Amino acid sequence: MFWRKQRAAIEGFHPLHQSLIWHRSFSVSMRPAEWDALIRGLARHESVVRRRRWRLPARTRTALVPLVRVLTEDMRPDGVLSVALDLRGPKFPEKTGPRHEMPVQRPVTSMKQWFVVDPWLRLRAELRDGSVLELAVTDRIRYRRIRKRNPRGKIKVKYKTKKVLRVDATRRLAKAAAVRRPASPPPGWIVVRVKDGPRPVIRATAKIPAAADERALVEPILTVSTELFRWTPPGTGAQRRTA
């Protein structure tokens, strides 16, 4: 049997680490110390497992690990961080929408369009100031199948795709938390909604062109999340203290 040493090493990994390798997804709620143990295990994956088929999905390194590191910094040791991760990719029937026929003009004889919506990351973190941060990151891919015929009757079929990343961030503040409108508005590509009440809620939504460089994936996600914290600038938020 091939790869038996690497397979044996994988069997010793954290169950969620194994789930990432075999199923490319998991859904779990854990405390910061447990997340730290998982990430330490993920860090030594490449040194132990070299088989391409058993590599971790790239977004584990470029999105999940940095986001968990950032959010656990803002949590108390007994806070809970819940993550639903689905890195299987967009090619699944349940993620694919219906196909629509689009109006066309010669030489195009037909065009079909459909969307694939892949909500690959959802996070919920209980922060140490008593607020709760929810983050949803979705890939939205537009597919077009274009059929065209030239004057000599030759038929060509082309596929075109356009991918955007949608980031939805919501922060539910602690009771009676003070909210202050930031001095400057957010960039035009970030939409913000604030709901007043005993527990104010701030939502920021953005649609970002998919980055060619997946290594820079975490930056736009954190940039959208920043808007939620500009309403309670550093050092002004009340720290929740528990006995």
Partner 1 sequence: MTRCTVTTGFFVLGRCGRPSVAACPQCARPVCDEHAAGPNGLCPECAAAQGYGSHDAHDPGWAGGYRRHFYQSTSSTYQDRAWYSSFDSYDRGSFERGGDHSFAEGDFDDDDTGFVDS
CB of 38 to partner 1, least distance (A): 10
Instruction: Give yes or no for a contact between 208 and 165, defined as CB atoms under 8 angstroms apart.
Output: yes
* Residue position matching structure tokens 């295990």: 41
Q: Check residue 86 for interaction with partner 1 (CB under 8 A).
A: no
Answer for which of 34, 74, 134, 168 binds partner 1 (CB under 8 A) is 74
Q: Check residue 89 for interaction with partner 1 (CB under 8 A).
A: no
Tell me which residues in 153-182 interact with partner 1 (CB under 8 A).
Answer: 182
Q: Rounded to an integer, what distance in angstroms lies between the CA atom of residue 222 and that of residue 169?
A: 9
Q: Rounded to an integer, what distance in angstroms lies between the CA atom of residue 162 and that of residue 145?
A: 12
Identify which of residues 116 and 190 has a Cβ nearer to partner 1 in the complex: 190
Identify which of residues 116 and 206 has a Cβ nearer to partner 1 in the complex: 206
> How many residues in the shown chain lie near partner 1 by CB under 8 A?
42
Q: Check residue 226 for interaction with partner 1 (CB under 8 A).
A: yes
Q: Check residue 8 for interaction with partner 1 (CB under 8 A).
A: no
Give the contact letters, 107-136, x = binds to partner 1 (CB under 8 A), - = no.
Answer: --------------------xxx-x-----
CB of 36 to partner 1, least distance (A): 7
Instruction: Give yes or no for a contact between 24 and 53, defined as CB atoms under 8 angstroms apart.
Output: no
Answer for which of 59, 61, 95, 140 binds partner 1 (CB under 8 A) is 61
Answer for which of 1, 8, 183, 212 binds partner 1 (CB under 8 A) is 183
Q: Rounded to an integer, what distance in angstroms lies between the CA atom of residue 111 and that of residue 99?
A: 10
Identify which of residues 10 and 63 has a Cβ nearer to partner 1 in the complex: 63
Q: Check residue 42 for interaction with partner 1 (CB under 8 A).
A: yes
Q: Which residues bind partner 1 (CB under 8 A)?
A: 36, 39-40, 42-43, 61, 65-66, 69-71, 73-74, 76, 127-129, 131, 182-184, 186-187, 218-219, 222-223, 225-230, 233-237, 239, 241-243
